[in-house]
Amino acid sequence: MRILVIDDQLNFEIALRDILKGHTVTGVRDPTALPRVLAFEEPFDQAIVDLRFPQSTSTGLTALARLRELAPATKTIIATTDEEENRLLYLLAAFQFFGPKALLAKRASDYVTRAVVEAVGRGEPAPNPDADSFRNAASLSPPLLDQVIRNQSELGIWRELTRFDKRPEIANAAHVHPRTLDAFTASKSVVIDTVNGRFPVRDGASEPRDVPEPAVAHSANLIKAIHFARTHMQFFADAEVAALLTAHWRLPGR
């Protein structure tokens, strides 16, 4: 198979080349290079896609979108680590909008890595239950990510929850009435519990910064929402995520 590795770390590509002997493995360091590579290279059977690119405004979502546009026959596998910030919501978005075939832990053994890649190549289910968890979350009605963010107004509230601690400040910045903010945090309390129940924080995962003490906020729901917003701060602030969600919200029937 011809396998394209989209990852900012050259070492990961080198390691995969050694693990996947017998296959042709090549790579790019940034999703923005994909149009050029896909225009001049022979077709790829698979793409192994990193989730975060710290030195770029692009993410794994960029790569998945370009692959769907320019090389739709290429099967995709997301490779990530538990330590990557904002990993959870990015993965929910990836599985809801792009349907990758597998989720590969970068720390997986050589045996598991090769087994996942070859299973995807044969069109068989890959042996990784984590992917099933995200796939199941995307198949809910509504999908779990839609429960987190239903529209542009809710995205605006999430963003302001990352910036302010006090109820009046958050409501004012988000251009909503304080009672609307209260209703939002109350409804999202249940959603946050659902997300955390399905995807508990693992050892090594990043913790949110600057979460207010109970005396600062006005309610337990607001505290919980601020905590969640700041845990996933980069996702809520991501312009590319906003564009993807906006296109989704404009679909007929929503």
Compute the C-alpha angle 103/106/108, nearest 5°: 85
d(CA 158, CA 170): 9
Position 113 scores a pLDDT of 93
Q: Tell me, what DSSP letter sits at residue 142?
A: S
Q: Tell me, what DSSP letter sits at residue 29?
A: S
Q: Do the beta carbons of residue 103 and residue 78 sit within 8 Å?
A: yes
Q: Which residue has the higher pLDDT, 97 or 219?
A: 97
Position 84 scores a pLDDT of 61
Position 208 scores a pLDDT of 53
Q: Which of 233, 230, 245, 241 is nearest to 58 (CA)?
A: 241
Position 217 scores a pLDDT of 45
Q: In 10 A of CB 83, how many CB atoms? A: 13
The CA–CA distances, whole Å, from 98 to 58, 67, 90, 176, 226 equal 16, 10, 11, 32, 29
d(CA 157, CA 181): 8
Average pLDDT on 218-237 reads 91
Task: Convert the pLDDT of each residue in 4-14 to its tens digit.
Answer: 999 998 999 99
pLDDT over 90, % of the chain: 72
Q: Do the beta carbons of residue 171 and residue 165 sit within 8 Å?
A: no
**Is residue 205 pLDDT above 80, yes or no?**
no
SS3 124: coil
Q: Which residue has the higher pLDDT, 53 or 163?
A: 163
To the question of domain 2-139 being in CATH 1.20.1250.20, the answer is no
What's the predicted TM-score (pTM) here? Answer: 0.90
- Domain residue spans in the chain? 2-139, 145-249
Q: Which of 103, 75, 74 is nearest to 90 (CA)?
A: 103
d(CA 115, CA 59): 26
Position 149 scores a pLDDT of 97
Tokens standing for residue 34: 């994909």
